[in-house]
Chain A
Amino acid sequence: MSQARLRPGSATPWLLLAPALAAVSFIVLLPVAQTVWLSLHRAILTRPRDRPFIGLDNYAALLADPLFWESLRHSLVWVVATVALQFALGFTAALLLNRSFWWRSAARALIVVPWALPSVIIGLTWSWMLDFNLGVANELLLRSGILSESVAWLARPDTAMPAVILALVWQGFPFFAVTLLAGLQAIPAEQYEAATVDGAGSWRCFIHVTLPGLAGVIATTLLLRMIWVANSLDVILVMTGGGPGTATHTLPLYAFLKAWSGLDFGYGSALAVVLTLLLLGVVIAYALRAGERA
């Protein structure tokens, strides 16, 4: 621990944090509090006068709801698969884009294209590419002989989830590519030089210099991305609407449909709160494991 940090009782950090805290509290905290409050009532949007307080009844109903558990399962698969694949692809890209080659600037700029497209475009384009009749995916797979007949990717429960995962991996891997690339810049070249002098090859350099130097950024980006993916529903909504059947129902999608299709804001809010608590659990576990970083 160094002197620059140990300043117990200083007001400086709080002053620095004040603007951010104020902005968040004013605009975000109030809606969050209202939503939590709403989850304790029976709240149908179109019946504003009929809002009885029902305590934890929504939560009890939720635990007994098989679709809740199914959505939770799908969410787990969804988050783990998507984030892992996004990370793998993004990290590889970051390492490659850190090297020198003459068209590096163009490559770096172009890699953000998937990330820079709105969800509606992504959902529609991927739906179209995977279309049974007119999709280019089926066409190419048929022509190359990999498939003998077209597959209705989005209409089959066994292929619908992998299809949306593919679309999300495509959309999100540039996030890791850019953030990890930025993180790589903070690793001093001396460390690489020292390792090479000690006789380390590129693999050992990677394990002993790159990974430790990047560990903090990796952990943070994985955590943030996990939270983001867990909450995302735009692309799934456009591509499958949660179907076929309930094959691509994730927790936020279920909450959204309950609130905005069924207009049952009480139940929808309860689902949202449960999702938040689950994510909170993961974050706290991470914080405990990481401990206080020196």
Chain B
Amino acid sequence: MRLRRFLGTEVPVLLILAFALAPWLWMILSSVRPERDWTTRPLAIMPATLTLSHHIELLQRTTFLQHMLDSLVVAVGAVTAGLLLALPAAYAFSRFRFRGRSTLRISFLIVNMFPVVLLVLPLFILLRQMGLLDTYFALIAGHATFTLPFAVWLLTSYTDSIPVELDEAAMVDGATRVQALRLVVLPLMLPGIVAVALYLFIASWNEYLFALMLAGRDVRTVTVALQMFIGENEMRWGLLTAGGTLVALPAVVLFLFAQKRLVGGLTGGAVKG
């Protein structure tokens, strides 16, 4: 029994994780390799000598950690704003039928069909006129609104998979619509909310174009900071790989805690599928 589970579940998971982590592990290996060893041939997979000099330089001689913090503030802000805006909208789309619903859902999505690279210039001018350049607000607003249609669609589909009969049962029992939402629907939506929150976090965390154009001095995110290690004539691989190692960690740690919510809502996580 255990062997079956090992072979049927844990081995495939290991394989998929190996694929997911291999490039990152390669980056970690490179970040502890002294610089001269990167271009020696034949290529040594395992470093012959280890060094922490790149990490030390990254943490002590650059302002990288500060920028991780900036990114964190913006990402948390974008997640909060995004969820606050998207949850009521998703509930409306899922639980109500009204004229124009379908058209509205689709036009909502048009915004995301546009390549953002062409929208950044008008947005830049708009924010400049409002005096909001280089503020946390500018980035949070930019990130939250550009991820909003996706978030709304995703949350709507999660809400759709919760049978509306549950709302009705609660309301028949005397609950108002708001209470039904709070006590019945929301708890069941928790897995979906976690997924959407992670999506919003990562979308904001990885975002470069707005961070480059709309901010940069007072607010510099980690994606912009990493670009500083790429110059005209020089690419600081040590700092890039050390930075690349660190930059993935916040999302991983956050999801480590949040994924506890990804258990079956109705019966509490029995083995499925």
Residues of A within 8 A of B (CB): 2-10, 12-14, 16-17, 19-21, 23-24, 26-32, 34-35, 89, 92-93, 95-101, 105-121, 124-126, 129, 133-134, 136, 139-140, 170, 173-175, 178-179, 181-190, 192, 202, 205-206, 210, 213-214, 216-217, 219-221, 223-224, 227-228, 230-231, 233-234, 252, 255-256, 259-260, 265, 268-269, 272, 275-276, 279-280, 283-284, 287, 292-293
Contact = CB atoms under 8 A, between A and B. Distances in A.
- Chain B at the A interface: SS class: helix
Given A99-B9, A117-B206, A129 B26 contact: yes
Contacts of A117: 24, 206, 244, 247-248
B131 interface: no
A183 B20 contact: no
Contacts of A220: 153-154, 156-157
Contacts of A13: 92-93, 96, 98, 101
Best-buried of B21, B41, B122 by chain A (most CB within 10 Å): B122
B206 A118 contact: yes
A270 to B, nearest CB: 10
Given A28-B111, A224-B150, A252-B115, A98 B273 contact: yes
B134 interface: no
A19 B85 CA distance: 6
Contacts of B85: 19-20, 23
A87 B27 CA distance: 26
Contact of B86 (A20, A136, A181): A20
B238 to A, nearest CB: 13
A121 B88 CA distance: 36
5 contacts: A8-B98, A12-B92, A31-B120, A174-B20, A185-B263
Interface in B29-61: 38-39, 41-43, 45
A292 B116 CA distance: 30
- Chain A at the B interface: SS class: helix
Nearest to A225: B150
A71 to B, nearest CB: 12
Interface string B203-228: 00110100000000000001100110
B5 A101 contact: yes
B113 A231 contact: yes
Given A13-B98, A118-B206, A213-B161, A32 B115 contact: no
B65 interface: no
Contacts of B199: 175, 178-179
B255 A179 contact: no
Given A35-B118, A114-B23, 17 more contacts: A5-B95, A16-B89, A24-B108, A96-B12, A98-B273, A100-B269, A105-B259, A112-B198, A170-B23, A186-B265, A189-B266, A189-B270, A214-B161, A221-B154, A275-B114, A287-B105, A293-B160
